[in-house]
Structure 1
Amino acid sequence: MSHRNARLTVHGRRILVERVLAGRPVAHVAAEMGISRPTAHKWVRRWRAEGDAGLADRSSRPHSTPHRTSAVVEAQVCRLRTGRKLGPARIGPILGIPASTVHRILRRHGLNRLAWLDRPTGEPIRRYERDRPGELVHVDIKKLGNIPDGGGWRTVGRTAGDRNRQATTTERKSCTPVIGYSYIHSAVDDHSRLAYSEVLPDERQHTAIAFWQRANAFFTGHGITVERVLTDNGACYKSKLFTQTLTAAGIAHKKIRPYRPQTNGKVERFNRTLADEWAYLRPYTSNTERTAALADFLHTYNHHRCHTALDGHPPITRVNNAAGQYT
């Protein structure tokens, strides 16, 4: 693609050559097309030497860069970055080179952002995305503490919050009221990021299976045929019944490698968004109020919230049959 200020595209250069070959002076053709005579001569010369291939855009990168930092120094910069997680301001004095040079080296090797590195190993994170909706769906569970009726201490203060806890439950553990937890089961499509979540009372296998059946119906309703499901190694997902349920529906069940949650990163990142933009968005006065707000969040996330991985578009824009216009 030509740069934004280019006067000629490949098609325009071909017209220039045709006019010159027709016998018209190069200076006249250049003036008509708003370019200089040297530029016009350049394209004619390239066409005569290479044919139509010579009219294509070329990189402006020089053939040689004698002042470029040596490969040995670049390797040392990369080792300090991946091994010690140091930035340009720290690496520069160690190797005796400017911090700006270090930054250019890190950018050249894709190491300029620590977020792109796996912290324990220092290896660049391999990001991937499936080619079509339904090819892979990430499934996970997030655990949240329940909210006592009337609000917890963040909403009404510690004295009133403790009183609400006492009134909400009769369960006690060492004289302390046990409110319990809610389990947010979520499924996120790898390609479109379309998400489905439910607030459920536990994370047992039968609960997980029932959730997946409803999630699968949700994706089917959007024209998505699920082919594979990726989960962690939680007890409910390791059960044979969960895998058999998927297999019976023609869906392959994949589990991540132990202690590698980043493999299931899309739903893990969705869990963080859930926490920031729903669970902890504002103080809720009851567990029921928080649960009721989930539906609005999911609609906003799927249909209106811009997603940086989708060039600022919401997930629904990547769904094949979003409006149900095809049968």
Structure 2
Amino acid sequence: MVNPEVPESDSDVAARVTVEIRLRAVTEVNDGAPVGEVAERYGVTRQTVTAWRKRYEAGGLEALADQSRRPHSSPGRISPDVEALICEMRRHHRRWGARRIAYELKLEIGKQAPSRSTTHRVLVRNGLVNSQEQQHKRVYKRWAREAPMHLWQLDIVGGVFLVNGREHKMLTAIDDHSRFVVAAAVLPVPSGPAVCDAFLAAIARWGAPFEVLTDNGKQFTGKFTRPLPAEVLFERICRDNGITARLTKRRSPTTTGKVERFHKTLRRELLDETGAFESIEAAQAAIDEWVHAYNTVRPHQSLDMATPASLFRSRVTDPELHPPDLGHRRQIFGVLIR
């Protein structure tokens, strides 16, 4: 029952109007009655009467019946075959998210591939998204240098285990612009000289970056050495080769977020899966192979699914590159070499 004190909308009125009444209104307009008068007489707008008239002219009496409001197509709906393929990819590659799966599907089936959001809904519908993935991640301000070789982020990370029970650490370095891994060297010991040997090897291979960013570890800086600050070997190498050495603020691990993110990926996709290695050489060989794929094959979400190698450009090694005389470093730097 219609409440006379509450005015009805055009949609409410139109829902009650029968095909015969709509036909009568159209007929009156076709016979010359003003559209405004007909609309007022039937309690609808001029636009509604005009729409009825167009529908009648296009499709006859049947076109005046109530039309379904369902869309003619549902962009978010996909075929059962594509949904099955999404689920298969997720089960086979447990660490691929919706964006990566949608990207791989586009390569495989082209225009039939669904969007990232549709892919995510399929994963949720099939119980293939865990609670951790659905949690809102803390958002940090992103930044990146405008070109490769402008800045390397360096860090020392553990987690490389041998069958004899020993754990070794690595020096890792990643180009800030391209995410290209320029160093992932397993260290015999995490000392200053070992770190610097790996750093020099990366410079010899790719050239010297303009800047490096590290934490405040003793291998990287003598700024906090007591009783007096002093230059350590890493800082000397940077100074002698025109590299600006920058330090993160204390207790701010997100400053070197790109290399930290690389560590998580390395652990998840290689170290946790492989387990202990027979030797340092075996560990280095496996890591080198994985890093090559990481740089050249694996698409990166932060790079709009490009590979790091597609964005990285090395610098020609400076022929005047002069590393310190490492054979005399202990005499030169004394107890500061660790």
Q: TM-score, normalised by structure 1?
A: 0.49
Q: TM-score, normalised by structure 2?
A: 0.48
Q: Is the radius of gyration larger for structure 1 or structure 2?
A: 2
